Amino acid sequence: MPNLLPTFEIENNVAAHGFTRIVGVDEVGRGPLAGPVVAAAVVLNPHRIPDGLNDSKKLTKRKRELLYDQLLEVADVSIAEATVQEIEEFNILRASHIAMVRALRGLPDPADYALIDGNQLPRDMNMPAKAIVKGDAKSLTIAAASIVAKVWRDRLMFALSQQHPGYGWATNQGYPTQEHKAGLKCHGVTPHHRRTFAPVHNILWQDKN
């Protein structure tokens, strides 16, 4: 059976070329109809890697929360977002990359090599980097970033759900579930909705016409 858990192999291969601060970067929130897209950048200490790191989608909420707290203690972490307005102005991919670059620039000490989840590198990067498809399932550092970004954004959407009840954001995090779509039809569009996304755009178009 192949090893289905992420490893530190990619990081070790990069370190063999002389790089000493290898950062993993991942984003969460490309699919939702509401809320910002959030990116995290994490530099792990090879001697203090929390047990159980994995693609955030494969972990329970409780396990993610536990690992999030551990990562804030033992790793260098930076979290950044691109706003709903930036998502509408550019597009969701570009906004995701903007958030990633912001997260990289927010690290307490600069990294010297970046492992980016996905198949494209963001523009405006000031360091060598590698894009890794499904990187959160392959690299422990990217997996760590996926957990941090997911927990941070989930908490943000929970807070927004208290201000805007009726859309189910506490549980759907802004994704286009039936509850969220029903809320849109019943309560309309909030300032946190992405107006360029089809379900939101269609409701605005119907209201206008």
Boundaries of every domain in the chain: 9-162
| Tens digit of each residue's pLDDT (9 = 90 or more) over 95-118 | 999 999 999 999 999 999 999 999
Q: What is the pTM of this model?
A: 0.95
- The per-residue pLDDT of the chain, averaged, comes to 96
CATH class of 9-162: alpha beta
| Tens digit of each residue's pLDDT (9 = 90 or more) over 151-195 | 999 999 999 999 999 999 999 999 999 999 999 999 999 999 999
3-state secondary structure the chain: CCCCCCECHHHHHHHCCCCCCEEEEEEECCCCCECCEEEEEEECCCCCCCCCCCCHHHCCHHHHHHHHHHHHHHCEEEEEEECHHHHHHCCHHHHHHHHHHHHHHCCCCCCCEEEEECCCCCCCCCCCEEEECCHHHCEHHHHHHHHHHHHHHHHHHHHHHHHCCCCCHHHHCCCCCHHHHHHHHHHCCCCCECCCCHHHHHHHHHHHC
